[in-house]
Amino acid sequence: MSINSAMLAGVSGLVANSSALAAISDNIANVNTVGFKRSTSNFSTLVTSGNKNQTYSAGGVKAQTHQFISQQGLTQSTTSNLDISISGSGFFVTTEKPENLTATDTRSFTRAGSFQLDSLGYLRNDAGLYLQGWLADPVSGLITPDPSDLMQLASINVGSVGGTAEKTTRVGVNANLRSEQPVAAAVSYKVGTAGSPSKSNVVDSAGTSHNYDVIYSSTGIANPVSGNNEYLVDIKENGVIVATGKVAYDAATNEIVSSTIDYKGASPVAGSTTTTRINAAGDTIDLEDLGIIDTAGVDDAEVVAGKLYDPSTWSMSDYAKDNSKGVKPDFEVQIPLSDSKGGQRTVTLSLLKGPGPNQWYAELRAKPGDLANNGNGQISTGIVEFTTDGKLKSTGSLFGSTSPTAITIKSSGYIAPAVTPPAVQPPAPPTWADALGIDEQEVQIDLASAAGGLTQYNSQSVVQSVNTNGTAFGNLTNIEVDENGYVSAIFDNGVTRRIAQVAIATFSNPNGLKGVNGNAYRVTNESGTYSLKAPSQGGAGALAPSTLEASTVDLSQEFTGLITTQRAYSASSKIITTADQMLEELLNIKR
């Protein structure tokens, strides 16, 4: 009967509009809910089958509710570093518990990024859901996103991040050395009394008498391969070098063992342990007459008395330990280092003007007592040379041969591997003292390409700057999340350490997800399976730190829908009352 169908159509209208009112009510109630996605009810007709000649029978209406989950909400700035919004597609992956997760534990997906730390240090949003991500490797600190499986994700925890320190690995030195720095007597030693020739009335092979100055200079080389004591020797007449070369004495007997002294400019050099040429004509003088050898058998007695600089036996490092020994440097550069525990160590670059105009003897040393095998703290030695325009030319053996710009100090307790005889046991490398208990440290010391670098100009010796990395121990002060999803720990010593990366899940049909409590969603057949991605990768949205995604509810639209729904509901109720009145008229016919 058509009147009955009309009444039932009115009932369906009441049900459908009730559903629409519920959706509108939910929208209005969640107008301030972070990341909330509005719902709407769409109506569709219900038609009773029949042909055009039959009496019309009303079918009614059906309401279908839809959520606009893919709709992007406006971002709002906040003051919390742990508030995050997603700009683009995707959802945060969350769990209901932070630890001991298994494959059967429920994963929820949400856009509500208002996270805080719980009592255990896990990131949890206002609905109590724990944020998931890829954690940093505890040893290397590297983060490797693995989108293959949800089980590769873990709850992000910052409570386990303790204090940190970073050892120094790079140093940049900007300093100048005075080019006219006088050469110290401990570098270049003139035999004899000042103002008088070292040797007078020295007769050469042609019978000519000469007055000579004999000047010994340090080679600046530690532990020569020969194992002898080696010195540079200049023989001057009236201030002009007539012969020059290197002399070596046996370290045990002090007897001369070799000499390259020859007249200046000789080619090839024809050195002798008894005589030396003084000119191209071949005139010679005896080394004994010059005091370079001595009939008493102690050839280098005067040299030893002069205390010439020797980086292995009479060094600047010796002077730093005991100022009654060794040679005082002309200039020093202090280089502060942080060790593996955040302790503060100091490496000093000591410099002593060499006999050459562009030459300086250099030593790198730690504080005496900081090394296990060198009491004076000496790390390395070398000869630093400059070009004629004051730029650094070379650093000699100061940084060794394998790492030309770096020094390496072995860890505390290091034991050098034994060499099978008859091979010669090499010198033990510099090693941190056992009592320090710190790790091996390789430090690149940049003397050339750093800003300014090490120069030699005719100005006072001065350190402009020493720039180093590495830090002392620092405590955790803050947690930040960047647009690529990296969760970083900030320490009060300036160190920043990445501890995790937030994962983003995307779906082929996000509007097909099923809503659950806590403003979250779960997978359905209609939504399709998830795809895990790093933020800003493969179509996943970027993260916006210190912002939250606002609800997509528009109050003006909802209030308009509220009015129309109310009117539609009232109209549907009128259908029922009208049909009821018509049925009553029908019943009155029988009376």
* Secondary structure string (H, E, C) spanning 139-200: CCCCCCCCCCCHHHCEECECCCCCCEEECCCEEEEEEEEECCCCCCCCCEEECCCCCCCCEE
Whether the Cβ atoms of residue 503 and residue 160 lie closer than 8 Å to each other: no
pLDDT of residue 262: 95
pLDDT of residue 181: 94
Burial of 117 (0-12, 13-18, 19+ CB in 10 A): middle
Neighbours of 421 (CB within 10 A): 7
pLDDT bucket at 175, cuts 50 / 70 / 90: very high
Weakest mean pLDDT among 325-334, 399-408, 508-517: 399-408
pLDDT bucket at 423, cuts 50 / 70 / 90: low
Amino acid at 473: F
Percentage helix, strand, coil for the chain under 3-state DSSP, each rounded to 5 = 15, 35, 50
- For 17-66, the pLDDT digits (tens) are 888 888 888 888 888 888 888 888 888 888 876 666 677 778 788 888 77
Mean pLDDT of the chain: 87
Q: Find, among 256, 279, 267, the residue nearest to 210 by Cα.
A: 279
Q: What value does the mean pLDDT take over residues 168-190?
A: 91
pLDDT of residue 51: 65
Q: CA-CA distance, 396 to 445, in Å (whole number)?
A: 14
364 has pLDDT over 80: yes
pLDDT of residue 424: 61
- Please confirm whether the linkage preceding 510 is cis (ω < 30° from 0): no
506 has pLDDT over 90: yes
- For 123-171, the pLDDT digits (tens) are 999 899 999 999 988 777 788 888 888 888 999 988 777 677 788 889 9
Q: CA-CA distance, 352 to 488, in Å (whole number)?
A: 46
Weakest mean pLDDT among 76-90, 169-183, 542-556, 565-579: 565-579
Q: What value does the mean pLDDT take over residues 188-197?
A: 86
pTM recorded for the entire structure: 0.63
Residue that has been written with the tokens 């050195």 in this structure: 271
* pLDDT greater at residue 19 or residue 247: 247
Q: Find, among 102, 68, 95, the residue nearest to 503 by Cα.
A: 95
